[in-house]
Structure 1
Amino acid sequence: MKTRTPPDSPGLFPDLPLVPDFSLESRAKRRGNWPVAGTDEAGRGPLAGPVVAAAVILDPKRIPDGLNDSKKLSARQREALYEEIIATATVSIASSSPRRIDVIDIRKASLDAMRRAVAGLSLEARHVLTDGRDVPPGLGCSGEAVVKGDARSVSIAAASILAKVMRDRMMVRAGLVYPDYGFDLHAGYGTDRHRSAIVAHGPCPLHRMSFRPLKPALETDLAPREQSW
Protein backbone atom coordinates (compact mmCIF):
# COMPACT_ATOMS: atom_id res chain seq x y z
CA MET A 1 0.00 0.00 0.00
CA LYS A 2 1.24 3.48 -0.81
CA THR A 3 1.60 5.56 2.35
CA ARG A 4 1.43 9.27 2.92
CA THR A 5 4.50 11.24 3.98
CA PRO A 6 3.37 14.15 6.18
CA PRO A 7 4.82 17.56 5.33
CA ASP A 8 7.51 18.99 7.62
CA SER A 9 5.40 22.12 8.10
CA PRO A 10 1.75 21.11 7.69
CA GLY A 11 0.51 24.61 8.52
CA LEU A 12 2.11 25.91 5.33
CA PHE A 13 0.06 23.58 3.16
CA PRO A 14 -3.59 24.06 4.25
CA ASP A 15 -4.95 22.94 0.87
CA LEU A 16 -2.93 19.73 0.65
CA PRO A 17 -5.50 16.99 -0.07
CA LEU A 18 -5.90 14.29 2.54
CA VAL A 19 -4.92 10.76 1.57
CA PRO A 20 -6.14 7.93 3.81
CA ASP A 21 -3.55 5.81 5.57
CA PHE A 22 -3.30 3.25 8.38
CA SER A 23 -2.11 5.61 11.13
CA LEU A 24 -5.34 5.69 13.16
CA GLU A 25 -5.55 1.90 13.04
CA SER A 26 -1.89 1.58 14.07
CA ARG A 27 -2.40 3.92 17.00
CA ALA A 28 -5.35 1.88 18.25
CA LYS A 29 -3.35 -1.32 17.83
CA ARG A 30 -0.47 0.08 19.92
CA ARG A 31 -2.99 0.77 22.67
CA GLY A 32 -4.15 -2.84 22.63
CA ASN A 33 -7.35 -2.21 20.68
CA TRP A 34 -7.20 -4.74 17.87
CA PRO A 35 -8.87 -5.66 15.55
CA VAL A 36 -9.93 -2.20 14.34
CA ALA A 37 -12.97 -1.82 12.09
CA GLY A 38 -13.78 1.14 9.90
CA THR A 39 -17.40 1.94 9.16
CA ASP A 40 -19.19 4.36 6.87
CA GLU A 41 -22.54 4.79 5.15
CA ALA A 42 -23.90 5.75 1.75
CA GLY A 43 -27.25 7.31 0.95
CA ARG A 44 -28.12 9.82 3.65
CA GLY A 45 -29.27 12.47 1.19
CA PRO A 46 -31.48 10.75 -1.42
CA LEU A 47 -35.26 11.01 -1.52
CA ALA A 48 -35.62 7.26 -2.03
CA GLY A 49 -34.00 3.97 -1.19
CA PRO A 50 -32.20 2.64 1.88
CA VAL A 51 -29.18 4.00 3.66
CA VAL A 52 -26.43 1.38 3.45
CA ALA A 53 -23.53 0.94 5.87
CA ALA A 54 -20.43 -1.21 5.74
CA ALA A 55 -17.82 -2.25 8.29
CA VAL A 56 -14.34 -3.40 7.30
CA ILE A 57 -11.41 -4.92 9.18
CA LEU A 58 -8.41 -4.72 6.86
CA ASP A 59 -5.54 -7.20 6.87
CA PRO A 60 -2.50 -4.94 7.47
CA LYS A 61 -0.45 -7.14 5.13
CA ARG A 62 -3.00 -7.06 2.29
CA ILE A 63 -4.34 -3.50 2.12
CA PRO A 64 -5.51 -2.75 -1.44
CA ASP A 65 -3.79 0.10 -3.25
CA GLY A 66 -5.93 3.08 -4.19
CA LEU A 67 -8.31 3.15 -1.22
CA ASN A 68 -9.89 6.58 -0.88
CA ASP A 69 -13.14 8.37 -0.18
CA SER A 70 -15.62 6.67 -2.52
CA LYS A 71 -16.75 10.07 -3.86
CA LYS A 72 -13.25 10.68 -5.21
CA LEU A 73 -13.23 7.46 -7.23
CA SER A 74 -14.85 6.57 -10.52
CA ALA A 75 -17.51 3.88 -10.68
CA ARG A 76 -15.02 1.54 -12.35
CA GLN A 77 -12.43 2.15 -9.63
CA ARG A 78 -15.02 1.54 -6.91
CA GLU A 79 -16.17 -1.71 -8.49
CA ALA A 80 -12.59 -3.01 -8.79
CA LEU A 81 -11.74 -2.04 -5.21
CA TYR A 82 -15.01 -3.54 -3.95
CA GLU A 83 -13.96 -6.95 -5.24
CA GLU A 84 -10.45 -6.58 -3.82
CA ILE A 85 -11.72 -5.53 -0.40
CA ILE A 86 -14.16 -8.44 -0.29
CA ALA A 87 -11.30 -10.83 -1.16
CA THR A 88 -8.77 -9.54 1.38
CA ALA A 89 -10.67 -8.12 4.37
CA THR A 90 -13.31 -9.05 6.93
CA VAL A 91 -16.46 -7.21 5.89
CA SER A 92 -20.11 -6.76 6.75
CA ILE A 93 -22.90 -4.71 5.17
CA ALA A 94 -26.23 -3.61 6.66
CA SER A 95 -28.99 -1.20 5.63
CA SER A 96 -31.92 0.74 7.01
CA SER A 97 -35.06 0.80 4.89
CA PRO A 98 -37.00 3.91 3.84
CA ARG A 99 -39.69 2.96 6.34
CA ARG A 100 -37.18 2.83 9.19
CA ILE A 101 -35.70 6.14 8.07
CA ASP A 102 -39.16 7.70 8.25
CA VAL A 103 -39.81 6.28 11.71
CA ILE A 104 -36.55 7.13 13.49
CA ASP A 105 -34.98 9.79 11.17
CA ILE A 106 -32.05 9.50 8.78
CA ARG A 107 -29.30 10.20 11.32
CA LYS A 108 -30.42 7.48 13.71
CA ALA A 109 -31.10 5.08 10.85
CA SER A 110 -27.58 5.64 9.50
CA LEU A 111 -25.94 5.10 12.88
CA ASP A 112 -28.03 1.98 13.49
CA ALA A 113 -27.03 0.55 10.11
CA MET A 114 -23.37 1.14 11.00
CA ARG A 115 -23.85 -0.53 14.38
CA ARG A 116 -25.42 -3.58 12.73
CA ALA A 117 -22.68 -3.72 10.13
CA VAL A 118 -20.06 -3.85 12.91
CA ALA A 119 -22.09 -6.46 14.78
CA GLY A 120 -22.22 -8.59 11.63
CA LEU A 121 -18.45 -8.91 11.28
CA SER A 122 -17.20 -12.49 11.60
CA LEU A 123 -14.21 -11.13 13.54
CA GLU A 124 -15.11 -9.16 16.65
CA ALA A 125 -13.80 -5.59 16.55
CA ARG A 126 -12.13 -4.12 19.64
CA HIS A 127 -12.21 -0.56 18.31
CA VAL A 128 -14.31 1.15 15.64
CA LEU A 129 -13.42 4.15 13.51
CA THR A 130 -16.53 5.82 12.13
CA ASP A 131 -16.80 8.57 9.56
CA GLY A 132 -18.32 11.83 10.79
CA ARG A 133 -18.99 13.30 14.21
CA ASP A 134 -21.01 10.52 15.83
CA VAL A 135 -20.10 7.12 17.24
CA PRO A 136 -22.93 4.64 16.70
CA PRO A 137 -24.46 3.74 20.08
CA GLY A 138 -24.39 0.14 21.22
CA LEU A 139 -21.16 -0.94 19.53
CA GLY A 140 -20.03 -3.12 22.41
CA CYS A 141 -16.48 -1.80 22.10
CA SER A 142 -14.66 1.53 21.99
CA GLY A 143 -15.46 3.88 19.13
CA GLU A 144 -13.89 6.96 17.59
CA ALA A 145 -15.62 9.48 15.34
CA VAL A 146 -13.31 10.80 12.63
CA VAL A 147 -14.29 13.93 10.71
CA LYS A 148 -13.53 13.35 7.01
CA GLY A 149 -12.63 9.84 8.05
CA ASP A 150 -12.98 8.40 4.56
CA ALA A 151 -10.10 10.70 3.53
CA ARG A 152 -7.98 9.87 6.59
CA SER A 153 -8.41 6.17 7.36
CA VAL A 154 -8.05 3.36 4.83
CA SER A 155 -10.47 1.24 6.88
CA ILE A 156 -13.17 3.90 6.70
CA ALA A 157 -12.37 4.50 3.02
CA ALA A 158 -12.83 0.78 2.33
CA ALA A 159 -16.17 0.84 4.15
CA SER A 160 -17.28 3.87 2.14
CA ILE A 161 -16.52 2.01 -1.10
CA LEU A 162 -18.44 -1.10 -0.06
CA ALA A 163 -21.44 0.92 1.08
CA LYS A 164 -21.51 3.03 -2.08
CA VAL A 165 -21.17 0.10 -4.49
CA MET A 166 -23.76 -2.00 -2.67
CA ARG A 167 -26.26 0.85 -2.54
CA ASP A 168 -25.77 1.64 -6.21
CA ARG A 169 -26.41 -2.01 -7.06
CA MET A 170 -29.56 -1.99 -4.94
CA MET A 171 -30.84 1.11 -6.72
CA VAL A 172 -30.18 -0.43 -10.14
CA ARG A 173 -32.40 -3.30 -9.03
CA ALA A 174 -34.96 -0.79 -7.76
CA GLY A 175 -35.00 0.72 -11.23
CA LEU A 176 -36.16 -2.63 -12.61
CA VAL A 177 -38.96 -2.88 -10.05
CA TYR A 178 -40.07 0.77 -10.36
CA PRO A 179 -39.01 1.82 -13.90
CA ASP A 180 -40.95 5.10 -13.90
CA TYR A 181 -38.50 6.84 -11.57
CA GLY A 182 -35.06 6.21 -13.12
CA PHE A 183 -33.51 4.93 -9.89
CA ASP A 184 -30.76 3.22 -11.87
CA LEU A 185 -29.66 6.63 -13.19
CA HIS A 186 -29.79 8.87 -10.09
CA ALA A 187 -29.81 6.35 -7.20
CA GLY A 188 -32.75 8.11 -5.57
CA TYR A 189 -31.19 11.57 -5.32
CA GLY A 190 -33.40 14.62 -5.92
CA THR A 191 -32.53 15.32 -9.54
CA ASP A 192 -34.91 17.23 -11.78
CA ARG A 193 -35.83 13.99 -13.54
CA HIS A 194 -36.58 12.27 -10.26
CA ARG A 195 -38.70 15.13 -8.93
CA SER A 196 -40.63 15.28 -12.21
CA ALA A 197 -41.31 11.54 -11.96
CA ILE A 198 -42.66 11.96 -8.43
CA VAL A 199 -45.02 14.69 -9.65
CA ALA A 200 -46.14 12.55 -12.58
CA HIS A 201 -46.50 9.19 -10.81
CA GLY A 202 -46.62 9.97 -7.10
CA PRO A 203 -44.26 8.36 -4.59
CA CYS A 204 -43.55 4.64 -4.56
CA PRO A 205 -42.81 2.38 -1.56
CA LEU A 206 -39.09 3.22 -1.76
CA HIS A 207 -39.58 6.95 -1.18
CA ARG A 208 -38.71 8.53 2.14
CA MET A 209 -41.96 10.21 3.03
CA SER A 210 -40.44 12.13 5.96
CA PHE A 211 -38.15 14.08 3.63
CA ARG A 212 -39.32 17.61 2.91
CA PRO A 213 -40.15 17.27 -0.83
CA LEU A 214 -42.38 14.27 -0.06
CA LYS A 215 -44.00 15.28 3.24
CA PRO A 216 -47.09 16.88 1.62
CA ALA A 217 -47.94 13.52 0.06
CA LEU A 218 -48.40 12.03 3.53
CA GLU A 219 -51.66 13.99 3.84
CA THR A 220 -52.95 13.03 0.39
CA ASP A 221 -53.90 9.92 -1.51
CA LEU A 222 -50.47 10.08 -3.20
CA ALA A 223 -48.83 8.39 -0.22
CA PRO A 224 -47.88 4.76 -0.95
CA ARG A 225 -49.85 2.21 1.03
CA GLU A 226 -46.78 0.23 2.06
CA GLN A 227 -43.14 1.11 2.45
CA SER A 228 -40.55 -1.63 2.39
CA TRP A 229 -37.20 -2.60 0.99
Structure 2
Amino acid sequence: MTTTKTTRPKAARSHPDLSFETTLGQGRRVCGIDEVGRGPLAGPVVAAAVVLPPEGLPQALARAINDSKALSRAAREDLEPEIRAHALAFALAEATAAEIDHFNIHKATLLAMKRAYEALTGEPPAVALIDGKFTPDLPCLAEAIVKGDGKSQSIAAASIIAKVARDREMCRLAELHPHYGWDRNAGYPTPEHLEALRRHGVTDHHRVSFAPVREQKALSN
Protein backbone atom coordinates (compact mmCIF):
# COMPACT_ATOMS: atom_id res chain seq x y z
CA MET A 1 0.00 0.00 0.00
CA THR A 2 1.29 3.46 -0.88
CA THR A 3 -0.15 6.60 0.65
CA THR A 4 0.77 10.17 -0.14
CA LYS A 5 -0.16 13.04 2.15
CA THR A 6 0.58 16.12 0.10
CA THR A 7 -0.90 17.64 -3.01
CA ARG A 8 1.33 17.47 -6.04
CA PRO A 9 1.98 20.85 -7.66
CA LYS A 10 -0.59 21.73 -10.27
CA ALA A 11 -1.36 24.77 -12.30
CA ALA A 12 -4.36 26.68 -11.03
CA ARG A 13 -7.61 25.57 -12.58
CA SER A 14 -10.97 27.27 -12.44
CA HIS A 15 -12.99 24.07 -12.74
CA PRO A 16 -12.46 20.44 -11.69
CA ASP A 17 -11.10 18.27 -14.48
CA LEU A 18 -9.41 14.90 -14.98
CA SER A 19 -5.79 16.07 -14.68
CA PHE A 20 -5.16 14.20 -11.42
CA GLU A 21 -6.95 11.13 -12.71
CA THR A 22 -4.81 11.05 -15.85
CA THR A 23 -1.47 11.92 -14.23
CA LEU A 24 -1.73 9.58 -11.26
CA GLY A 25 -3.89 6.89 -12.85
CA GLN A 26 -1.69 6.24 -15.89
CA GLY A 27 -4.37 4.03 -17.37
CA ARG A 28 -5.35 2.40 -14.09
CA ARG A 29 -8.77 2.55 -12.43
CA VAL A 30 -9.15 5.72 -10.32
CA CYS A 31 -11.80 6.74 -7.81
CA GLY A 32 -12.51 10.06 -6.16
CA ILE A 33 -13.63 10.12 -2.53
CA ASP A 34 -15.20 12.97 -0.57
CA GLU A 35 -17.24 13.35 2.59
CA VAL A 36 -20.01 15.59 3.83
CA GLY A 37 -21.04 16.37 7.37
CA ARG A 38 -17.99 17.07 9.50
CA GLY A 39 -19.44 20.21 11.08
CA PRO A 40 -23.06 19.39 12.04
CA LEU A 41 -24.18 18.71 15.59
CA ALA A 42 -26.36 15.81 14.48
CA GLY A 43 -26.49 13.02 11.93
CA PRO A 44 -23.83 10.90 10.28
CA VAL A 45 -20.80 11.88 8.27
CA VAL A 46 -21.38 10.51 4.76
CA ALA A 47 -18.70 9.60 2.21
CA ALA A 48 -18.97 8.74 -1.46
CA ALA A 49 -16.53 7.06 -3.81
CA VAL A 50 -16.94 7.51 -7.56
CA VAL A 51 -15.16 5.94 -10.54
CA LEU A 52 -15.62 7.99 -13.70
CA PRO A 53 -14.99 6.64 -17.21
CA PRO A 54 -11.40 7.34 -18.28
CA GLU A 55 -12.60 9.06 -21.44
CA GLY A 56 -14.58 11.46 -19.28
CA LEU A 57 -18.22 12.42 -18.92
CA PRO A 58 -20.46 13.99 -21.55
CA GLN A 59 -19.27 17.54 -22.09
CA ALA A 60 -22.33 19.30 -20.69
CA LEU A 61 -22.30 17.16 -17.55
CA ALA A 62 -18.57 17.63 -17.07
CA ARG A 63 -18.95 21.41 -17.30
CA ALA A 64 -21.77 21.39 -14.73
CA ILE A 65 -19.95 19.33 -12.10
CA ASN A 66 -18.24 21.31 -9.35
CA ASP A 67 -17.60 21.24 -5.63
CA SER A 68 -21.00 20.53 -4.10
CA LYS A 69 -20.70 23.60 -1.86
CA ALA A 70 -20.52 25.79 -4.98
CA LEU A 71 -23.81 24.42 -6.31
CA SER A 72 -27.40 25.08 -5.30
CA ARG A 73 -29.45 22.29 -3.79
CA ALA A 74 -31.54 22.13 -6.96
CA ALA A 75 -28.42 21.84 -9.11
CA ARG A 76 -27.06 19.02 -6.97
CA GLU A 77 -30.37 17.18 -7.15
CA ASP A 78 -30.34 17.47 -10.95
CA LEU A 79 -26.72 16.37 -11.33
CA GLU A 80 -26.74 13.45 -8.90
CA PRO A 81 -28.74 10.96 -11.02
CA GLU A 82 -26.74 11.95 -14.11
CA ILE A 83 -23.47 11.22 -12.30
CA ARG A 84 -24.81 7.88 -11.11
CA ALA A 85 -25.91 6.98 -14.63
CA HIS A 86 -22.54 7.73 -16.25
CA ALA A 87 -20.15 6.57 -13.50
CA LEU A 88 -18.47 3.20 -13.90
CA ALA A 89 -19.07 2.64 -10.19
CA PHE A 90 -20.10 4.58 -7.11
CA ALA A 91 -20.72 3.79 -3.46
CA LEU A 92 -21.95 5.53 -0.34
CA ALA A 93 -21.01 4.87 3.28
CA GLU A 94 -21.32 6.62 6.60
CA ALA A 95 -20.06 6.82 10.14
CA THR A 96 -22.87 7.29 12.65
CA ALA A 97 -23.16 9.93 15.34
CA ALA A 98 -22.29 7.24 17.89
CA GLU A 99 -19.14 6.35 15.95
CA ILE A 100 -18.21 10.03 15.72
CA ASP A 101 -18.51 10.27 19.51
CA HIS A 102 -16.49 7.08 19.97
CA PHE A 103 -13.64 7.71 17.54
CA ASN A 104 -13.75 11.55 17.06
CA ILE A 105 -14.84 13.29 13.88
CA HIS A 106 -11.49 13.00 12.12
CA LYS A 107 -11.19 9.23 12.55
CA ALA A 108 -14.89 8.73 11.79
CA THR A 109 -14.52 10.67 8.54
CA LEU A 110 -11.63 8.47 7.42
CA LEU A 111 -13.65 5.40 8.43
CA ALA A 112 -16.59 6.49 6.25
CA MET A 113 -14.21 7.10 3.34
CA LYS A 114 -12.65 3.67 3.73
CA ARG A 115 -16.09 2.06 3.84
CA ALA A 116 -17.09 3.89 0.64
CA TYR A 117 -13.98 2.61 -1.15
CA GLU A 118 -14.61 -0.94 0.06
CA ALA A 119 -18.24 -0.77 -1.10
CA LEU A 120 -17.33 -0.07 -4.73
CA THR A 121 -18.26 -2.86 -7.11
CA GLY A 122 -16.15 -4.22 -9.93
CA GLU A 123 -12.38 -3.93 -10.22
CA PRO A 124 -10.93 -2.20 -7.12
CA PRO A 125 -9.42 1.17 -7.98
CA ALA A 126 -5.63 1.27 -8.06
CA VAL A 127 -5.63 4.98 -7.19
CA ALA A 128 -7.87 6.90 -4.78
CA LEU A 129 -8.03 10.70 -4.89
CA ILE A 130 -9.07 11.97 -1.45
CA ASP A 131 -10.37 15.45 -0.69
CA GLY A 132 -8.41 17.10 2.12
CA LYS A 133 -5.07 16.68 3.87
CA PHE A 134 -5.40 13.10 5.10
CA THR A 135 -6.10 9.70 3.58
CA PRO A 136 -7.82 6.62 4.99
CA ASP A 137 -5.95 3.33 5.16
CA LEU A 138 -6.58 1.90 1.69
CA PRO A 139 -5.01 -1.01 -0.24
CA CYS A 140 -3.99 1.28 -3.10
CA LEU A 141 -2.19 4.50 -3.89
CA ALA A 142 -4.06 7.26 -2.03
CA GLU A 143 -3.46 10.92 -2.86
CA ALA A 144 -4.70 13.64 -0.53
CA ILE A 145 -5.69 16.74 -2.51
CA VAL A 146 -6.37 19.93 -0.58
CA LYS A 147 -9.62 21.45 -1.88
CA GLY A 148 -9.77 18.50 -4.22
CA ASP A 149 -13.50 18.91 -4.82
CA GLY A 150 -12.64 22.02 -6.82
CA LYS A 151 -9.77 20.36 -8.73
CA SER A 152 -10.63 16.73 -9.44
CA GLN A 153 -13.77 15.86 -11.35
CA SER A 154 -13.98 12.48 -9.61
CA ILE A 155 -13.84 14.09 -6.17
CA ALA A 156 -16.34 16.77 -7.20
CA ALA A 157 -18.72 14.06 -8.41
CA ALA A 158 -18.30 12.22 -5.10
CA SER A 159 -19.00 15.42 -3.17
CA ILE A 160 -22.31 15.87 -5.01
CA ILE A 161 -23.44 12.29 -4.43
CA ALA A 162 -22.46 12.43 -0.75
CA LYS A 163 -24.16 15.78 -0.18
CA VAL A 164 -27.43 14.72 -1.80
CA ALA A 165 -27.45 11.45 0.16
CA ARG A 166 -26.80 13.17 3.49
CA ASP A 167 -29.40 15.88 2.89
CA ARG A 168 -31.98 13.18 2.18
CA GLU A 169 -31.01 11.33 5.34
CA MET A 170 -31.37 14.49 7.41
CA CYS A 171 -34.81 15.08 5.88
CA ARG A 172 -35.75 11.55 6.91
CA LEU A 173 -34.52 12.17 10.46
CA ALA A 174 -36.38 15.50 10.51
CA GLU A 175 -39.64 13.60 10.12
CA LEU A 176 -38.81 11.69 13.31
CA HIS A 177 -37.60 14.80 15.17
CA PRO A 178 -39.38 17.80 13.60
CA HIS A 179 -38.34 20.39 16.20
CA TYR A 180 -34.74 20.79 15.04
CA GLY A 181 -35.23 21.85 11.42
CA TRP A 182 -32.80 19.26 10.06
CA ASP A 183 -34.53 19.33 6.68
CA ARG A 184 -33.41 22.97 6.45
CA ASN A 185 -30.13 23.10 8.40
CA ALA A 186 -28.87 19.52 7.83
CA GLY A 187 -27.88 19.35 11.49
CA TYR A 188 -25.54 22.34 11.42
CA PRO A 189 -25.49 24.65 14.48
CA THR A 190 -27.87 27.29 13.17
CA PRO A 191 -29.74 29.53 15.65
CA GLU A 192 -32.88 27.46 14.95
CA HIS A 193 -31.10 24.21 15.78
CA LEU A 194 -29.40 25.58 18.90
CA GLU A 195 -32.68 26.97 20.22
CA ALA A 196 -34.44 23.65 19.61
CA LEU A 197 -31.59 21.87 21.39
CA ARG A 198 -32.19 24.06 24.43
CA ARG A 199 -35.95 23.59 24.31
CA HIS A 200 -36.23 19.91 23.41
CA GLY A 201 -32.93 18.40 24.49
CA VAL A 202 -30.55 15.91 22.93
CA THR A 203 -31.65 13.09 20.60
CA ASP A 204 -29.92 9.82 19.80
CA HIS A 205 -28.80 11.40 16.53
CA HIS A 206 -26.89 14.25 18.18
CA ARG A 207 -23.12 14.15 18.55
CA VAL A 208 -22.52 14.36 22.28
CA SER A 209 -18.79 14.91 21.77
CA PHE A 210 -19.54 18.29 20.14
CA ALA A 211 -19.52 21.11 22.69
CA PRO A 212 -23.05 22.59 22.28
CA VAL A 213 -24.61 19.12 22.56
CA ARG A 214 -22.35 18.05 25.43
CA GLU A 215 -23.15 21.23 27.35
CA GLN A 216 -26.90 20.83 26.82
CA LYS A 217 -26.77 17.19 27.87
CA ALA A 218 -24.94 18.17 31.07
CA LEU A 219 -27.64 20.74 31.87
CA SER A 220 -30.34 18.10 31.38
CA ASN A 221 -28.75 15.61 33.81
Which TM-score applies when normalising by structure 1? Answer: 0.86
Is 2:127–2:141's contact at 8 Å kept on the other side of the alignment? yes
Structure 2 counterpart of 1:57, one-letter code: V
Closer/same/farther in 2, CA of residues 17 and 61 from structure 1, 3 Å limit: closer
Q: What does residue 128 of structure 1 align with? A: 128
Alignment pair present for 1:56 and 2:69? no
Summarize deviations over 1:93-129 as a string: whole Å, max 9, x none.
0001000000000010001100110011003110100
Q: Which moved more, 1:92-101 or 1:208-217?
A: 208-217
**Within 5 A, what are the aligned runs for 1:78-227?**
78-89=76-87, 90-123=89-122, 124-137=124-137, 139-219=138-218, 221=220
1:17 CA displacement: 6.5
What's the offset of the Cα at 1:44? 0.2
More helix by share: 2
In structure 2, what is the Cα distance between the partners aligned to 1:18 and 1:37?
21
Give, in whole Å, the separation in 2 of the partners of 1:151 and 1:97. Answer: 26
Alpha-carbon contact 2:25-2:126 (below 8 Å) kept: no
Contact 1:209–1:217 at 8 Å: present in 2 too? Answer: no
The 1-side partners of 2:215 and 2:188 are apart by 18
Alignment partner of 1:19 out of 15, 21, 29: 15
Provide the alpha-carbon RMSD of the alignment: 1.5
The one-letter amino acid of 2:70's match is K
Unpaired runs of 5+ in structure 2?
A: 1-10
1:70 aligned partner: 68
What's the secondary structure of 2:178's corresponding residue? coil
Deviation at 1:61, TM superposition (A): 3.3
2:46 and 2:93 in contact (8 A); partners too: yes
Encode CA deviations 1:18-71: one digit per residue, 9 max, x unaligned.
3100000001232x5x10000000000000000000000001335132111000
Which structure 1 residue ranges, 5 or more long, are not aligned?
1-9, 11-15, 223-229
Higher relative contact order (CA 8 A, sep 6+): 2
The whole-number CA distance in structure 2 between the counterparts of 1:29 and 1:179 is 46
- Contact 2:52-2:86 within 8 A present in 1 as well: yes
8 Å CA contact 1:42–1:51 kept in 2: the answer is: yes
Larger radius of gyration, structure 1 or 2? 1
Aligned residues with identical type, % of pairs: 46
